[in-house]
Amino acid sequence: MKFDKTIIEKLREELRQPLPGEEAQYRMAPPYRPNLSKQDILQMNPRVSGVMVLLYKKNDLLNLVFTQRKTYEGVHSGQMSFPGGKKDEGDVDLIQTALRETEEEVGVTKNKIEVIGSLSELYIPPSNFLVHPTVGFAESVSDFMPQETEVEKVVEIPVSFFLDSNNINLKTEMKIFNGNVVQVPAYIYQEHIIWGATAIMLSEFTFIIERIINNNYSQ
């Protein structure tokens, strides 16, 4: 997708409207994902976290940034994700959490990021996290600085990649934390597989972008 500042303004407007939520999220949800009500989720006493869906211009394209996690003994070892993490006591809200974590994980300071809205919250059963995705825009980003202890690699992907259905594999085989092999929907970018919570959040994000594009062409 060629960079066009008007798409950012239209995205801001769309994010002020009622969000599509599960209608869009579940397009990329694993088949075994439980369908829980908000009350069910709150009874789990989930930890809360914030992630940043960071848009930025590069080579005249609109891009998104991801981190590949380090390998560790945990449910999200080695996975692709948005910059983010759990809320600290000093964070005023989960938007501040997303901004702080983005600076810590990829080196983009909060003064460079314009917050333009939020996506629907998402509960992650394996880690018992309730995630708040913030959507931000940076006019320009210099070199990323991955956090050495948590980030294996910073991965930049054009938004247009996620709008092409040819880049979605609905039956990608993944080995999950308990050792079972499951088939899940996933975006396949080069050697990177984006699935699980990140793919679910991306599904709502792309649903909104597609709606913007379709509205433009229908006018």
Structure confidence at residue 61 as a pLDDT band (50, 70, 90):
very high
Token representation of residue 147:
């956090």
Q: Is the pLDDT of residue 166 over 70?
A: yes
Name the residue ranges covered by the structural domains of the chain. Answer: 5-218
192-194 β-sheet, strand order:
168-175, 181-189, 192-194
Residue 218 or residue 208, greater confidence: 208
| pLDDT reported for residue 94 | 97
Taking phi over 0 as left and psi of -120 to 50 as alpha, with beta for the rest, 47 belongs to: beta
| pLDDT reported for residue 76 | 47
Residue 191 burial (10 A CB sphere; 0-12, 13-18, 19+): exposed
Class of domain 5-218: alpha beta
| pLDDT reported for residue 79 | 85
| pLDDT reported for residue 72 | 58
Question: Which of 46-55, 73-82, 89-98 is the least confident region?
Answer: 73-82
Structure confidence at residue 174 as a pLDDT band (50, 70, 90):
confident
Per residue, what are the HEC states of 12-57?
HHHHCCCCCCHHHHHHHCCCCCCCCCHHHHHHCCCEEEEEEEEEEE
Token representation of residue 33:
């994902």
User: Mean per-residue pLDDT for 182-209?
Assistant: 95
pTM: 0.92
User: Mean per-residue pLDDT for 166-190?
Assistant: 87
Mean pLDDT of the chain: 91
How much of the chain exceeds pLDDT 70, in percent? Answer: 94
In which element (H, E) is residue 103 found?
helix 94-106
Q: Is the pLDDT of residue 48 over 80?
A: yes
